Amino acid sequence: MNHKTNMTLAVFGLGHVGLPTALGFADLGWNVIGVDSDRSKVESLTKGHVPFFEDGVDSLLKKHLKSDKFVVSSDSNWAVNQADILFICVATPEYKDGSADISQIENLAYQLRDSIKSYKIVIQKSTTPVNTAEKIRIILSQPKENEEVQSADKFVDVVVIPEFLREGKAIEDFFNPQRIVVGLDDMSLKETIINLYMPLFQKIGKEEQDLMIFTDTRSAEISKNAANSFLATKLSFINMVSDLCLKVGANIDSVSRSIGADPRIGTDFLKAGIGYGGECLPKDLNSFIDSGKTNGVNFSILEEVQKVNDNRVTVYLSQIKDTLPNLKDMSFAVWGLAFKPNTDEIRNSPAINIINKLIEEYAKLRLYDPLAMPVFKNQIGTSELISFASDPIDAAVDSNGVLILTDWPQFKEQDLSKLFQVMKTPIIFDGRNMLDRDFVTESGFEYYGLGI
């Protein structure tokens, strides 16, 4: 398959990983078939509608439905037989005990095994615990139903290329990767994988050796889990230090800047606040803790990381309760629902935990988020204590406090004199440490950040 210029790729699972990956490769010139078992998703994508928000995906979808570089299908058997390379991008949710549920991957592997009739490379992109690629390889090499001889074994190679795309920046990250980790147990596949990414290297003016890290499949799987667990560790570390700053009246932003100036530490992921959320960091941390347990390795450091993060909501709520003890009669403007800006993702968002706790105390909440309000209504529903605002100032009318729960840049740009006028009591609880304390207090507000 070396150096083919007209390869067809089939991407199985068209969610936050699969769809940007499929469209990214289509934009690089490959023929891509996107496959999903959810027929309504397939139907909506075929019409050019993306069922979730991800910057840039919408326009790439329209562009490549038109260019015919991207087609969508729910017929996995057909897709397998059209394609040279099969990408596994299905979800790996977590079980209650924190371990990763890889059943969607296993089921897909059985389906692929039954459809494969000629040589394929199967690329595992879903985030998985170590040894999943080996499980896929074993499934693919088992005899098909009603067949005595091993079938797919000689036809299939399994490669692990973990994805490091951030939600909200998935397309940007696809075209500007910091590294492409490739786990292979057979180094003769190297050339084909380099060929797959060659149009990207040409587009961005990089060489294969600038970006590609070749390793074995287990190391590639661990790299993904370790990267997200390290990011979570960095965040819980800085959040722990911010608690000290809060107690002694120091400033966590100055501490972050001071330690981040050392390139061995680095400035990113040092913003203290109400903690990390989303679908990836919490889940991958749990799954990595489970891998430690399964393999008899002490990962207790990561259990502490998780505890610090779980406690962020309590720290934030105590600050509100210390200032306004009787929450029952209070009304708050909630600025931000998403787990981070530029996404409508609210799964594991600290904002949702905070909202639930405040509702338990009968506080009235008026919510505003630039993107996530429809998803909130859909997934969480509403209550008589909750209403929705048309903009941040509207959310704050007659409120006792503004709660900043997502660091959307537009929250920084609000007219503070207008905000001051509409609020009952001008107090800001900045859960993302995003406003300038001096500026806000000089504008007449009482201001509470987390360690600033």
Interface positions with ligand UGA (CB under 6 A): 127, 163-167, 228, 231, 235, 269-271, 273, 276-278, 280-281, 284, 339-340
Nearer to ligand UGA, 4 or 179 (CB): 179
Amino acid identity of residue 447, one-letter, is Y
CB 122 within 8 A of CB 312: no
Nearer to ligand UGA, 79 or 346 (CB): 346
CB of 420 to ligand UGA, least distance (A): 27
SS3 122: strand
Residue 223, φ and ψ in degrees, nearest 5: -55, -40
CB of 189 to ligand UGA, least distance (A): 23
Nearer to ligand UGA, 349 or 399 (CB): 349
Two tokens at 415? 């007219």
CB of 278 to ligand UGA, least distance (A): 4
Give the list of residues 6+ apart from residue 259 with CB closer than 8 angstroms, or none: 265, 270
What is the SS3 string spanning 132-158?
HHHHHHHHHHCCCCCCCCCCCHHHEEE
Q: Please tell me the distance from the alpha carbon of residue 359 to that of residue 380, in angstroms, as a whole number.
A: 13
The active-site residue, picked from 196, 280, 338, 434, is 280
Nearer to ligand UGA, 137 or 340 (CB): 340
CB of 6 to ligand UGA, least distance (A): 30
Nearer to ligand UGA, 127 or 233 (CB): 127
Residue 280 catalytic?
yes
b/e for 157-182, b at 16 or more Cβ within 10 A? bbbbbbbbbebbbbbebbeebeebbb
CB of 231 to ligand UGA, least distance (A): 6
398 Rama class: left (phi>0) / alpha (psi -120 to 50) / beta: left
b/e for 63-74, b at 16 or more Cβ within 10 A? ebbeeebbbbbb
Catalytic positions are 280
